[in-house]
Structure 1
Amino acid sequence: MASLDTLFEAAKTIQARAYVPYSRFKVGAAIVTPEGQVFTGCNVENAAYPVGSCAEAGAISAMIAGGGSRIGEIVVIGDGEHLVTPCGGCRQRIREFASPDTRIHIAGPEGIRKSFTLEELLPFSFGPDNLTDR
């Protein structure tokens, strides 16, 4: 599996490519699958504000398009002094392809600031396994 340093660098590189003419707030995300494949995504804004997409959603889409199906770990990077954690929608998107103990690393320009499990960010979550007991 890719190292945390490799994931951080991938997230930082893709963050620079974000399309953010309105907020000017660039976010990047890098996912590694259990097989070691790395996929990235950046936020893309739109003049019709709710039509934009988050970095995490882009990375997950790239993973699926590339043949991956599980998130091993993810790094999310944003600027500023505060932690840039995934929004609620992206926490649920991550949940679809991760387990409760999947590590989500939150970074700033200087490196990893804090790491969480998915369970810590989205406790008592609803996911695919909830639908198997029908």
Structure 2
Amino acid sequence: MQDMRAENLAGEQRKLYELALAAREHAYAPYSHFAVGAAVRCADGKCYSGCNVENASYGLCCCGERNAIFAAVGAGQRQLEALCVVADTPAPVAPRGACRQVMSEFKIKTIILGNLRGDIKICTPEELLPYGFSL
């Protein structure tokens, strides 16, 4: 994993961070009050964002990372290159296991974890989920 600051992100990585920050503002988190934003960049350069959406029946909640990935897939994308996820955490946010598995499924090459203070960790899906499930 590579540690850095958001202001040092270049080009497309900086754009993903900014899109994730913007998506976070739309989070629906009345129960946890933990807003998450995410953005994914596809091989063709198009970006899709998502935020977490909670529900009183917790099993029906969906994380920002999965919402961004599912938005891309729903638009016909299959080659996902990079994903950024941002939350208000002391260190760069760590995705839950379900999100890690979905990132692994789509073989996203670069994962950018961030927080509102601009702390960044850049890693691969394998670093987040060694021995991910596959068929």
Alignment correspondent of 1:92: 101
Contact 2:43 2:81 in 1 (8 A): yes
Q: Indicate whether 1:124 and 2:131 are aligned.
A: yes
Contact 2:23 2:37 in 1 (8 A): yes
Q: Over residues 54-83 of structure 1, what are the superposed CA-to-partner deviations in whole Å (9 max), with x where a residue is unaligned?
A: 001101110011111122000000002033
Quickly say closer, same or farther: Cα 1:94–1:86, change in 2 above 3 A. Answer: same
Cα distance, 1:112 vs structure 2: 4.7
- How many residue pairs match? The answer is 125
Cα distance, 1:93 vs structure 2: 0.7
Distance 2:66 2:18 in 1: 19
Contact 1:46 1:52 in 2 (8 A): yes
Contact 1:105 1:112 in 2 (8 A): no
Distance 2:43 2:31 in 1: 36
Cα distance, 1:111 vs structure 2: 2.6
Contact 1:119 1:125 in 2 (8 A): yes
Cα distance, 1:48 vs structure 2: 0.9
Match of 1:74 among 69, 72, 83: 83
Quickly say closer, same or farther: Cα 1:112–1:35, change in 2 above 3 A. Answer: farther
Contact 1:71 1:94 in 2 (8 A): no
Which SS does the other structure have where 1:11 is aligned? helix
Which has more radius of gyration? 1
Contact 2:92 2:119 in 1 (8 A): no
Alignment correspondent of 1:28: 37
Which SS does the other structure have where 1:45 is aligned? coil
Quickly say closer, same or farther: Cα 1:10–1:81, change in 2 above 3 A. Answer: same
Q: Indicate whether 1:108 and 2:115 are aligned.
A: yes
Structure 1 segments unaligned to the other structure (5+ residues): none
Contact 2:83 2:112 in 1 (8 A): yes
In structure 1, give the amino acid aligned to 2:125. Answer: L
In structure 2, give the amino acid aligned to 1:79. Answer: D
Greater RCO (Cα-Cα under 8 Å, separation 6 or more): 2
